[in-house]
Every structure is written in structure tokens, then in C-alpha cells.
Amino acid sequence: MPLGLLMVNLGSPDAPTAEATRRYLAQFLHDYRVVDTSRWIWCPILHGVILRIRPKRSAKAYASIWGEGEEAPLVRITRAQVAGVQAQLGDAVMVETAMRYGNPSIGAGLEKLMAAGCEKIAVLPLYPQYAGATTASVYDGVAKALEDKWDVPELRFLRDYYREPAFIAALADSLSDHLATLDWTPDRILTSYHGLPQTYVDAGDPYQSECLETTVLLRAHTGYSEETLQSTFQSRFGPKAWLQPYTDKVLEALPEQGIKKVAVMMPGFSSDCLETLEEIAMEAEESFLHAGGTHFAAVPCLNDRADHIDLLSDLARRRLLAGWLDEVE
């Protein structure tokens, strides 16, 4: 029997349209891990306001980064990562793509693996740092997909990989590779992570500390100072206080401090997506230049770089499939 490996990313709408974006946002924003507000309060707001207004605006943003092809960049890149890992792991392991929200779904991925005879399945969430709203939600999604099955596979899950030396090295190399393409040197480099409501961290979510440790490890590897390489948080939503400092506010303030050349990298994202290609590479650049900045660069995510594929394949072998592979090889 082949072993199964399910590589799971966040997801995207099926198309850059208001209708498809509404379906996607409805699933995403119904997840209690993402929005922990009482459903009696949240559902009227979600269905009465947010899903009436936001899909059209979000669809326009998705359209700006969609490019050619039937699937969003996040999905296309994740498929490329899966293909790379499959090539390295060989026929003993069947690797499938899944999205926590949207398509291809976790349920569809598990069905393919189980239909192929996989009785042992490892799940690799493509989130370097753990958060309840991301990694733990993947655990929930797998459990939900299997809840009506009488015969479920043996499962293993990867929690995080932000401390992996190969991950830090890949980030450092991707940064230096991108900076080498520029004819200028940044005064400041931001490591911008997806935000999280402060209340989640106050309740015990370790995400913030794992993001900050990622930057500390990256500084140690590259030799950049704390002043030069700074952590920020992006993509806040709603009225609650989110993790700070906010990426957009920092960028708007830097030119007044004489910092007019900035590069932004996003070590919490394994693949480029709306939050990196549109929010940072388009919106953040525009606001930074409008505030008086002169040079801006968005460093691509690790995507399907060879060193990233090597890392993901090694994680699968060493931390997920160890022991299992010995039984089938």
C-alpha cells in the first residue's frame, strides 16, 4: 500500500469573481478558529454586511494578481510544490494538494489517497509558524472530512517548521538572491507576517512568539542587525486590536525617519498569494512611495524554489514518514 502525504495550504476562490469570492469568504469566515465571536453576533454581521460588501472588492483584488490560468496563484504554486515533493519522494508515497478553504478541498484530497489504498496518511500544513487559525484549523478540517468514515487511516501531522535550519537558510538565500537583482540597497528590511487578533495570543496562541523567533533566527543567519531587519504584521481585519507593529503603519512612517529604501519579505507565507502579491507588492508599495519613500521591493515567497522543495521533502521524510517508509521500501 502506498503512503499518503497531503500538503495543505489556505486556499483561494475558484475564480476572481464576486460570486466565487463570496463562497470562499463564507467558508473561511465561518471557521470559529478564524473568527471566535459568538455565532449569534457574528453570523448576522457576516451575512448581513460583510458578504454583501466585501466579495466585490476582494474579487477585484484577486483579478489584479490572477494572471493566466484557471486557478489562483496560491493554488498553482502549491501544485508545483506538490509535484516537486512527489518527484523527490518517489512511488512509495502518493502526494496530494489540498486547501483548507475552497478547492481542491481537504476532503477531496483524502478521498484520492484513500481510494488509492493509502492506510497511512501524513498531513503537512504549509504554515511555517503554528497558529490556531491556520495549523489547528487544518487539523479540524481533516477531522471534519473523516467524521462520516467508518474506516479512517492512521494519521500524522506536522505542527510547524520555523526553527528548521534549512528553512532559515532558504529564507536568507531568497532574500540575498532578490536583493542581487536590484541596483540599490535597502535601508530597512521588514519581515511581514500575517496578523492575528491580540486576544488570540493573550489566550495562549504561540504564533506571535514563533514569528518573532523566525526573525531572530534570520538575523543570526544573515548578520543583519535588529534595526535593519524588523518584524511587522499585516492583513488586520475588523475592530479588534491585532498584533503590532502594523506593516502598513510602519511603512508610512519610515520616510519621515529618513528610511526611504525598503524591502519586504514574508516568512510566514510558503506561497505567494493575495496577501503578498496585492497587499504588499501593490498596496504597500503605493502607500510607501506616497509617504515619501523612493525604492520598494517585495521579496517573493519561497514558492517552488529548489531549496524549498528540498526542505519540504526532507520534512516529509524525517518528521512525518519516518518509520513508515522503512516498512514499504
194 labelled binding-site residue: yes
CA 110, 116, 117, 121 torsion: positive or negative? negative
CATH classification code of 165-298: 3.40.50.1400
Q: Where are the domains of the chain?
A: 3-161+307-328, 165-298
Beta bridge partners of 297: 263
Decide if 3-161+307-328 and 165-298 have a common fold: yes
pLDDT value at position 329?
66
Sheet holding 188-194, edge to edge: 229-234, 188-194, 261-265, 295-298
pLDDT value at position 69?
83
pLDDT value at position 237?
82
pLDDT per residue as tens, the chain (329 positions): 799 999 999 999 999 999 999 999 999 999 999 999 899 998 999 999 999 999 999 999 999 999 988 999 999 999 999 999 999 999 999 999 999 999 999 999 999 999 999 999 999 999 999 999 999 999 999 999 999 999 999 999 999 999 999 999 999 999 999 999 999 999 999 999 999 999 999 999 999 999 999 999 999 999 999 999 999 999 998 778 999 999 999 999 999 999 999 999 999 999 999 999 999 999 999 999 999 999 999 999 999 999 999 999 999 999 999 999 988 76
pLDDT value at position 197?
96
> Rounded to two decimals, what is the model's pTM?
0.96
Terminal Cα-to-Cα distance of the chain (whole angstroms): 11
**CB-CB contact of 124 with 8 (8 Å):** yes
275 labelled binding-site residue: yes
Q: What is each CA distance from 275 to 22, 74, 144, 294, in whole angstroms?
A: 17, 10, 27, 22
Distance from C-alpha of 103 to C-alpha of 95, rounded to nearest angstrom: 16
pLDDT value at position 322?
94
**Secondary structure string (H, E, C) spanning 197-216:** EHHHHHCCCCHHHHHHHHHH
pLDDT value at position 223?
97
- CATH, domain 3-161+307-328, list 3.40.50.300, 3.40.50.1400, 3.40.50.261, 3.90.1150.10: 3.40.50.1400
pLDDT value at position 274?
97
Beta bridge partners of 98: 8
Nearest one of 19, 35, 13 to 274, comparing CA atoms: 13
Sheet holding 3-9, edge to edge: 93-99, 3-9, 120-125, 154-157
